Structure 1
């Protein structure tokens, strides 16, 4: 299923941009879909970042794009992506209210940290902030030999 842009957009940097498409979810019939770029678009220097549209996603389907040669203008109604529908074959867990957020809006918040760990077992000062305004600062051991981070 071809997916067209809903708006005109000019890519002025090489960073990934979100573009509203002309389609909304849910897709219907319990279908999920892979969002892929059309090969003709890649030849023009516009690259679509592949994505997954869940069967229960509600809202405008967004297309993630970037270019290595800005500026490039993409007119509204340009068919730059396609949806490849499929039926997920995994057991159902439980219903989760998704809303219209998209891009990981249903999971628990994640804390991701990138640090140079060339030196052995380094420590890093980390501040954890809660939306209520409370914060906690502590030293954290970055253990490169473990599959979990230990916060003493």
Structure 2
């Protein structure tokens, strides 16, 4: 009940004989609704030397989800039923946005292509995270509101 992702396994025996990426069938189709998905490598497959390329699966894609993977040390045999990837379902937030001129393409069961117009998302400055800090100097209190910018390994207060 606490799992965020769904494990995907191979539907056939796969032999990787080169280091170039290869499509691996999973036999899985995502639910046919407004959900997209993020496909990531399964952690144990990575420890065994299988590199799964992350993929974004569009909400309107209806075909079989396949992983794209390679190994740095061929040959590699992946037996049928081996877990190779994990998929995390995502809500399609773009379906309620107006992105300008629509190109009218629906993904269907055709993968690996452009989804149409480019969307640039940004936050209004007034909705940026702020923090009120009180400075104490010579017994006086000075409350100030600061803008926070949090990165991967640092927090900037300005």
TM-score normalised according to structure 2 size: 0.61
Q: How does 1:3-152 map to 2 (within 5 A)?
A: 3-25=8-30, 27-90=31-94, 91=97, 94=102, 95-104=104-113
Larger Rg: 2
Kindly indicate which of the two structures has a greater share of residues assigned to helix: 2
* Residue 99 of structure 1: how far off its partner (Å): 3.6
- The CA RMSD measured in Å over matched residues stands at 2.0
Q: How many residues align?
A: 107
**Structure 2 partner of 1:132:** none
Q: Give the C-alpha shift of residue 101 in structure 1.
A: 2.1
- Which structure 1 residue ranges, 4+ long, deviate > 3 Å from structure 2? 92-95
- Structure 2 residue runs of 5 or longer lacking an equivalent are 1-5, 117-158
Distance 2:22 2:70 in 1: 6
Which stretch shows the higher mean deviation, 76-85 or 93-102?
Answer: 93-102
The answer for unaligned runs of 5 or more in structure 1 is 108-152
TM-score, structure 1 normalization = 0.64
